[in-house]
Structure 1
Amino acid sequence: MIKSSEQGNGVYNQDLSPNSVIIEIGGVENRIDELYRTADLLGNVISEYYWQTVH
């Protein structure tokens, strides 16, 4: 999902590096335990992808 110009300028810190990614997790209706669970699972996915690509 990409934010439109009506939702802000869309420039955070990703303009500092051409290969950066911003991932937003959750929203105002999520509980903190849901955010932690999502971050944990996302970390596992990113780690697995990284280790598969470096070997």
Structure 2
Amino acid sequence: MAGKDEKVESKGDIVRQGFMVKRSQNKKRFTPINYKTRWFVLTRRYLIYYDNDSE
């Protein structure tokens, strides 16, 4: 899986893209579960996510 700093090389590499809801990593035991909407891009090699669709 690619990190957030990874960029998609060309639009032809994109298989699917859109908003999905991502659950945060709850590292503290007693904090509430947190969900955030993220822009995901699926390519043939990676699944990349961004904070929004303008990145």
Greater helix fraction, Structure 1 or Structure 2:
1
Q: Which has the larger radius of gyration?
A: 1
Q: TM-score, normalised by structure 1?
A: 0.21
Larger RCO: Structure 1 or Structure 2 (Cα < 8 Å, ≥ 6 residues apart)?
2
Greater strand fraction, Structure 1 or Structure 2:
2
